[in-house]
Amino acid sequence: MEAGESIFTPKTAADTVLYKYYQDLKTKMVGAISDDEWAAVLPSGYTKNNFFEFKIINSKQVNAFAVPGGYVYFYTAILKNFQSESELLSVMSHEIGHVIKHHSRESMVKQGIMGVVIDALLGDGLGATVASLGTSVWLLSGSRENELEADEMGYIYTKKIGVSSKG
C-alpha cells in the first residue's frame, strides 16, 4: 500500500452496513462460479465460501485488483464512483475472473523466468536493460489478453446471477 492508505474497517453503523452489503455482494458473485472452475482453483481445505477474501483500501485511487490466493481489493474511491449495483458487481466479477484464470500468478512466473534468462544471457548492462524493457512490453500484451478474458468471465458471472452487463 502507498503512504496514507490503510485497510478499511467499519467505524460507524453506516460503515458497518456498507461493509456488510459489500461482503454480501461478494458472496452472491462467488456463488456464480461453477464447480468445474473451482476444481482448478481451490487449494485443499477451501470451499467457495471461504476462499475469496475481499478487502477495501482507504485510498483516492479509482481501482480494484486481484492477487493470487483469492484476495480482491477495492479502493474506497472506486466504490464512491459506481452509479449502480450492476457496475460494482461487474468489477467484482471481473476481478474474480482474474483469480479463476490465475492471471497474476502467470504474470509473476513469466517475469521471474524472463529475469533469470536475461541475467544468464546478458548479465548487467545496457543489453540487459533493453531486454528487460522488451520483456515488459511483451508482458503488457499478455496483460491486455488477460483483461479481455477477465471481462468475458465477468460477463458470464453477472449473467448467471441475472445482473445486466451494461453496468
Q: Please, which pLDDT band fits residue 100 given cuts at 50, 70 and 90?
A: confident
Cα angle vertex 50, ends 48, 52, to 5°? Answer: 75
Q: How many helices (H) and strands (E) would you count in the chain?
A: 7, 4
Asked if 111 and 132 touch (Cβ cutoff 8 Å), the reply is no
Identify the pLDDT of residue 92.
93
Q: Ramachandran region of residue 150, left (φ > 0), alpha (ψ -120 to 50) or beta?
A: alpha
DSSP secondary structure string for all residues of 87-127: HHHHHHHHHHHHHHTTHHHHHHHHHHHHHHHHHHHH-SSHH
Q: Which residue has the higher pLDDT, 106 or 18?
A: 18
pLDDT digits (tens, 9 = 90+) for 39-70: 777 777 787 778 889 999 999 999 999 988 88
C-alpha 157/C-alpha 96 separation (Å) is 9
Q: Which residues contact 119 (CB under 8 A, 6 or more apart)?
A: 128
From edge to edge, which strands make up the β-sheet containing 64-67?
6-7, 53-58, 71-75, 64-67
- Mean residue pLDDT of the chain comes to 79
pLDDT digits (tens, 9 = 90+) for 8-36: 999 999 989 989 999 999 988 888 888 78
Using the structure block, give the residue that is written with the C-alpha cell 492471471: 103
Q: Which residues of 145-156 are buried (b: 16+ CB within 10 A; e: fewer)?
A: ebeebbeebbbb
C-alpha 11/C-alpha 33 separation (Å) is 32
pLDDT digits (tens, 9 = 90+) for 146-158: 889 999 988 999 9
Select, from the ranges 41-50, 71-80, 129-138, 142-151, the one with the highest average predicted confidence (pLDDT): 71-80
